[in-house]
Structure 1
Amino acid sequence: MDLGLKGLNVLITGGTKGIGRQCAEIFADEGANVAVCARDNAGVTETIEALKAKGVTAIGRGVDVGNKHALASWVSDSAVALGGIDIVVANVSALAVADDEAAWEAGFGVDMMHSVRLVNAAMPYLEKSKAASVTLISSVSGREIDFTGPAYGAFKAALVHYAQGLAVKLAPQGIRANTVSPGNTYFEGGIWQNIEQNNKDLFAEALGMNPMGRMASPQEIARGVVFLSSPASSFTTGTNLVIDGALTKGVQL
């Protein structure tokens, strides 16, 4: 299937590892130009070189997405360098899973407000695109109560609500907005590898909850993100795509 991504311009926050990196790789494989940001400058440099090797334009910058002005500057500079913005993917999370005030503050500043600010900064460019799309990465923790802290799940649920509102508001302009809610996703350097190494009981408990007997790979989540973001999914907006291997038990109507 041709996803219609060739020549489109994509911005991805947290695009150097895990789900974000795999999104960047697949977008580039499909012929899209990609801008990434992350806090790890070395990771940004390595990612850019890998994407350029695929024959597309790739740029990036080390950015703290919790910093409003740094994030807005990256968006505007990327738009100039790429010649516009067609797709944005808000992928960064503070992963604040503790049950304390610090988790609420981190979740609001990073998970929630970085997504809002990314959309706001990109909107003047999305309004000029004929294939405009916003995809926010939520979580199955936003659908049901699990062993993560209350702040994490609350903000992931808020992202779904926010995207639904955007979808209704922006539909007349042809701008789509969706969320993807991954289940437990394992990759080298990720939170679940850390838990596997440092909290074996929790890792075993979480793995036991997965009906498929394993966790997702970043590629499996990223494929859904890229499809949902692409022109091939042009009539899909206001949707929360759950990719969790049947981990969650609630029926999504």
Structure 2
Amino acid sequence: MDLGLKGRKAILAGATKGIGRAVAEVLAAEGCAIELCARDRQGVEEAVGQLRSRGATARGESVDMGDAQAYRDWVGRACERLGGCDIFVCFASAGGGAPSEERWQAAFELDLLATYRGIDTALPALERSGSGAIVVISTTVAIEPAFGPQPYAALKAAVTNYAGALAQALAPKGIRVNTVSPGPVFIEGGAWDKIKSSRPDFYERTVAQVPLGRLGSAEEIAQAIAFLASPVSAFTTGTNLVIDGGMTKRVQH
């Protein structure tokens, strides 16, 4: 299926690894021009180099997304270099873990404020697009707690709520806002890969809770994000798309 993304301009914050990297690859393959950032300069250079080697228009910068001004400045520069913005996605996250002052602060800064700051800075360009699309990244543990109380889940729940309200506010301006909430996703070198090695019993119990019998992949989540960002989904806004192999048990009505 042609998603109609050729020539679109995408800004992807925190997109050198995992789901973010997979989204950059999918959007680039669909013909989008890409601007991406992450803290790791080497990771940025490697990701941009790979995208360019496949013929994509791609640029990137090393940015500390916890530095509000540096991050906003980068989003502004990305909009200028692209000549606008049609798609914005922020993948920044402090990750999961037991609660502590430091983890709460990190989740607030990266999971919530980085999403808000990026969208807020890109909004003028998204409005000029005429068909702007924002995809917000949440998680299934924000809607159905599974691994105990943790800042990651609570702040992602806040992000999900924010995205839903934002969808209503921005629809009259022609900007769509949707959320994607993945369940456990296996990424080589990622959190679940490490859990598989260090806590195999817990890993197997988690897999057993997924009716499809496996964890998801970054590519599967990326394809869904690309679909929501595309003109093929032009009548979809305010949706929280749960992608978890059936792991969550709530009835989505």
- State if a TM-score over 0.5 links the two structures: yes
Matched AA of 2:140: V
1:149: how far off? 3.4
1:54: how far off? 2.7
- TM-align CA RMSD: 1.1
1:101: how far off? 2.3
Residue 38 of structure 1 aligns with which residue?
A: 38
Paired residue secondary structure (2:16)? coil
1:1-253 equivalence runs, <5 A: 1-253=1-253
Q: How many residues align?
A: 253
Distance 2:240 2:16 in 1: 24
Larger deviation, residues 143-152 vs 64-73: 143-152
Distance 1:224 1:118 in 2: 21
- 1:85-137 CA-partner distances (Å, limit 9, x unpaired): 11001111110321222221111111000000000010111110022011011
Query: Do the aligned partners of 1:93 and 1:110 also contact (CA within 8 Å) in 2?
Result: yes
Any unmatched runs of 5+ in structure 1? none
Any unmatched runs of 5+ in structure 2? none
Matched AA of 1:150: Q
Query: Do the aligned partners of 1:96 and 1:106 also contact (CA within 8 Å) in 2?
Result: no
Paired residue secondary structure (2:207)? helix
Matched AA of 1:161: N
- Structure 1 stretches of 4+ with a deviation exceeding 3 A read none
TM-score under structure 2 length normalisation: 0.97
Query: Do the aligned partners of 1:57 and 1:82 also contact (CA within 8 Å) in 2?
Result: no
Cα distance change, pair 17–148 in 1 and its aligned pair in 2 (3 A): farther
1:67: how far off? 1.2
1:206: how far off? 1.4
- 1:149-191 CA-partner distances (Å, limit 9, x unpaired): 3311111111111111111001100001010000100011211
1:148: how far off? 4.6
1:77: how far off? 1.0
Paired residue secondary structure (1:60)? strand
